[in-house]
């Protein structure tokens, strides 16, 4: 029996499918008997040193096995003398994530079109109906740096420089992905993410894919889709892409690592056929479709090494 971790942290990135995954975790925690620890704090991802110490203390004393989830930038437990848990996360195409958040803040989702009034009650009407192209092309704060530097800090951590768009934060985020995260998946290939989570963490995720594919769960998941989303102009998309170049470098890095992991376990990365009206005109690296078959390392030995980190 492999030493599966009894402490897992899902420091979920906003608008990257986390509500879907949390719905699954609630079902799985009852099914498998692990302790799902969630937080009601959704808008405080950066913490002071004392807040970090307090949160780490509270997490570390939770009944094990536990899975803790919250929108929070990476926390270094070992810095405060705690045992470093296994981290998991999911990210998505940065522009898609930004647009989902932009329209969700304004118009909510299918759970109730008025729920945006609860989330953003102070938003003025002219701001709520601000055209996305105007926001981008006229350089409104919401559509410019550093507001667009969103995904990387979740992996870089709590250091103040993690919030500054640049190489330092990017490289630190990559390092943490390699050293502290068991899996960082991409939302565009969610079923494969769930397959790997079930393989790596069966005590938590066994049968997750069958639950996810269940029509009743799909019905619930559809309610979390953001409404009234529109696609910006190609010019606006290109401007966003330039402003988010560090986010895209990180996204492509994670995507490449995720595909390597998939090939290692025999999952092929299929290139989707382009849609009649593609959402974005952004180039992406070529993906190898065939699984790598020259890896001699035993799969279970590889997993064991991961868990000992």
Residue 228 to residue 253: CA distance in whole angstroms: 31
Residue closest to 13 by CA, chosen among 200, 177, 201:
177
Q: What are the strands, taking DSSP E only, across 114-215?
A: 181-186
C-alpha angle 67-179-97 in degrees, rounded to nearest 5: 65
Catalytic pick from 32, 42, 71, 116? 71
ω into 146 cis (within 30 of 0):
yes
Residue 100 to residue 208: CA distance in whole angstroms: 25
Residue 252 to residue 140: CA distance in whole angstroms: 27
Residue closest to 88 by CA, chosen among 249, 270, 254:
254
Residue closest to 306 by CA, chosen among 190, 197, 145:
197
Distances (CA, A) of 9 to 4, 69, 89, 224: 14, 6, 9, 23
Residue 233 to residue 230: CA distance in whole angstroms: 10
Q: Are 288 and 269 in contact (CB under 8 A)?
A: yes
| 217 noted as active-site residue | no
Distances (CA, A) of 138 to 143, 232, 270, 282: 9, 13, 38, 21
Residue with tokens 């799909």: 218
Residue 168 to residue 174: CA distance in whole angstroms: 10
Residues marked as catalytic: 71
């Amino acid at each position: 029996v492999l030493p599966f971790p009894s402490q897992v942290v899902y420091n979920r990135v906003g608008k990257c499918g986390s509500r879907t995954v949390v719905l699954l975790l609630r079902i799985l925690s009852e099914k498998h008997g692990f302790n799902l620890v969630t937080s009601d704090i959704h808008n405080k991802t950066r913490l002071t040193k004392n807040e970090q110490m307090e949160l780490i203390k509270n997490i570390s004393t939770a009944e094990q096995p536990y899975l803790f989830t919250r929108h929070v930038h990476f926390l270094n437990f070992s810095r405060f003398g705690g045992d470093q848990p296994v981290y998991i996360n999911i990210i998505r195409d940065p522009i898609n994530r930004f647009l989902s958040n932009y329209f969700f803040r304004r118009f909510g989702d299918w759970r109730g079109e008025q729920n945006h009034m609860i989330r953003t009650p102070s938003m003025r009407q002219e701001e709520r109906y601000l055209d996305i192209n105007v926001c981008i092309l006229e350089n409104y704060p919401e559509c410019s740096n550093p507001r667009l530097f969103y995904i990387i800090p979740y992996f870089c951590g709590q250091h103040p420089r993690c919030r500054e768009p640049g190489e330092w934060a990017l490289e630190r985020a990559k390092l943490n992905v390699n050293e502290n995260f068991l899996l960082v998946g991409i939302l565009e290939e969610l079923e494969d993410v769930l397959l790997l989570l079930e393989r790596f963490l069966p005590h938590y995720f066994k049968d997750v894919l069958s639950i996810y594919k269940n029509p009743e769960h799909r019905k619930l998941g559809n309610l979390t889709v953001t409404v009234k989303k529109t696609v910006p102009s190609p010019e606006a998309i290109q401007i966003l892409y330039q402003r988010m170049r560090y986010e895209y470098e990180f996204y492509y890095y994670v995507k490449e690592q995720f595909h390597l992991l998939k090939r290692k376990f025999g999952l092929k990365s299929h290139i989707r056929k382009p849609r009649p009206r593609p959402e974005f005109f952004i180039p992406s690296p070529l993906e190898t479709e065939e699984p790598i078959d020259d890896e001699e390392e035993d799969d279970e030995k590889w997993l064991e090494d991961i868990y000992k980190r």
